[in-house]
Structure 1
Amino acid sequence: MRKSLLISCLLSAFHFLSAQTPASYSIQKGEIITERIPYQDQYRFESFRKGTVLFAKGNTASSRLNYNYLYSEIQFIDVRGDTLSIAPEPLVRYVFIGDHAFYYHPDYDIYLEAVYESQVLSLLIYKRYQVFDRNTQMIKGYVDANKTFYENFVYEQDNRIIAESLYEFYNLPSLEDLRISYQENYFFVDKNIRFYPAVRSSLWKIFPQYRQSLRDFISKNKTNFSKEEDLKALILYCQQFLEQ
């Protein structure tokens, strides 16, 4: 089991750079997932970068950081050169890696990267790999709030526990043919740091008094909630609500 440690980061301006989208991979029985997927495709950035984490109480710390797609975690390199993970912690508010900002979502214990920021709403993206069996059914685990994320991940097939932790699952020979697929999902976050899936119903909750106006905009522009540029245009439209 890998070590976990909390570190922290200083709030700064948002700048966003594009990165190559990771591929999907077929895993044959007996292969080790972390050996099958190239190192550069396991991480958001090509190398660990200077970064900081900002806690809810305002205290900070710094280290070389990177975001891992397999574990959906922010990782850092300690003084001995070991790669460790920041423990899921509700007190974490933001993580900054270079010019990139990540919000910590305490309900899901995940990090969401900011891709567009405004006074009324910000657009975040959740990037990770998902595991599917050979029939393309997503493998599900469960999470018990009283245990760590690694301790909670269980993959069952035919009532057998194949791996007791996500770390073991990715680093032991696979017992089945699998597919690892890169996935993205968008979220909104409001000025009070409340998170919402980027779907229509979320807008009704955020702007109940402007529901009809939003419906008209979405219909007229044929807004696709899975397209980043469409969501940015929608947020730009919502800016007017600050002045009303």
Structure 2
Amino acid sequence: MKSWLLTIVFLISAAFTFAQNTPKVYRTKNGSNISKNIPYQEQYQFEEFNPGKVYFRNGRIANARLNYNLFYGEIEFIDTKNDTLLLNDQDFMDSIAIGSEIFYYLPRQGHIREIKNYGKVRLGEKQVLAVLDNERESAYNHYSATSAISNYKTFSNQNGSQWMKPSDNVVFKRKSIHFFIDKNKQFYIPSKASTLKLFRDNSKEINDYIKEQNIDFSKQSDLTKLLEFCNSL
């Protein structure tokens, strides 16, 4: 009897854990207001706009209430009129802090959150609500918008503007894209080549480790393991 109870508890716990780790998927009709179809909390990194600091390269620091918008892939702020806007002067900013979280700006990509600093290299993550189209994913980014998300007939990504038919069902899901960030805040797509370039003094040991551990550069757990190894050399 006890063994059966333990088995049931284990299955319920496993199902609950799986549900927690499974990315949420949202479906909305093209032409509808996606800000109403997707819960507000799911459109942002944080549950609310939190006090933060914007650090400029000239030493200036600006205080504001900030949050990361998963549609735009950029940080927004609330101004004195209580309007929600995207940040300007991105090229003059060094970094942005929201609580303990640090973000850096990558032109044409948006803001990248620092996951961990390994000294020579930081591991960064860009999280977005991605559009799924026939199992292909592309980030929904509309950088020129500074007001609430409204009706749309196109979405913009790295491939430019993409038209969708008015009857299309649009499917959104959270997606994470990772980056290596060096001391000069230069960004690299994680790969064997970029890793060996960043740690060229230990290229042989790292090359062997990548082969032995069968590192998957699309997995955060593997990237963390790899950077911990590189940092130990």
Please give the TM-score of this superposition, normalised by the length of structure 2: 0.75
Query: Which has a greater percent of helix?
Result: 2
Who is 1:231 aligned against?
223
Which amino acid in structure 1 is aligned with residue 153 of structure 2? I
CA distance in 2 between counterparts of 1:79 and 1:121 reads 37
Query: Structure 1's 22 and 96: CA in aligned 2 closer, same or farther, altered over 3 A?
Result: farther
Q: Deviations over 1:116-156 (max 9, x none)?
A: 112111100010012234x34456899xxxxx9327xxxxx
Who is 1:178 aligned against?
170
Who is 2:211 aligned against?
219
Query: Structure 1's 141 and 235: CA in aligned 2 closer, same or farther, altered over 3 A?
Result: closer
CA distance in 2 between counterparts of 1:195 and 1:36 reads 34
Asked if 1 retains the 8 angstrom alpha-carbon contact of 2:73 and 2:128, the reply is yes
User: Radius of gyration: which is bigger?
Assistant: 2
Who is 1:70 aligned against?
71
Which amino acid in structure 2 is aligned with residue 213 of structure 1? E
How far off is 1:55 after superposition?
A: 1.4
Establish whether residue 162 from structure 1 lines up as the match of residue 153 from structure 2.
yes
Question: Unmatched 5+ residue regions in structure 2?
Answer: 1-19, 146-151
Query: Which has a greater percent of strand?
Result: 2
CA distance in 2 between counterparts of 1:87 and 1:162 reads 26
Query: Structure 1's 240 and 29: CA in aligned 2 closer, same or farther, altered over 3 A?
Result: closer
Question: Unmatched 5+ residue regions in structure 1?
Answer: 1-18, 143-147, 152-160
Who is 1:4 aligned against?
none
How far off is 1:228 after superposition?
A: 2.2
- Per the alignment, in what secondary structure is the counterpart of residue 227 of structure 2? helix
- Per the alignment, in what secondary structure is the counterpart of residue 44 of structure 1? coil
CA distance in 2 between counterparts of 1:27 and 1:105 reads 29
Q: Deviations over 1:45-101 (max 9, x none)?
A: 011111011112221101110000011110111122111111362111211001111
- Per the alignment, in what secondary structure is the counterpart of residue 114 of structure 2? strand
CA distance in 1 between counterparts of 2:167 and 2:193 reads 40
Structure 1 residues 19-30: aligned runs within 5 Å? 23-30=24-31
Please give the TM-score of this superposition, normalised by the length of structure 1: 0.72
How far off is 1:164 after superposition?
A: 8.5
CA distance in 2 between counterparts of 1:227 and 1:128 reads 16
Who is 2:121 aligned against?
121
Who is 1:149 aligned against?
143
Asked if 2 retains the 8 angstrom alpha-carbon contact of 1:28 and 1:178, the reply is yes
CA distance in 2 between counterparts of 1:198 and 1:50 reads 31
Asked if 1 retains the 8 angstrom alpha-carbon contact of 2:72 and 2:143, the reply is no
Say how many residue pairs are matched.
202
- Per the alignment, in what secondary structure is the counterpart of residue 119 of structure 1? coil
CA distance in 2 between counterparts of 1:232 and 1:199 reads 13
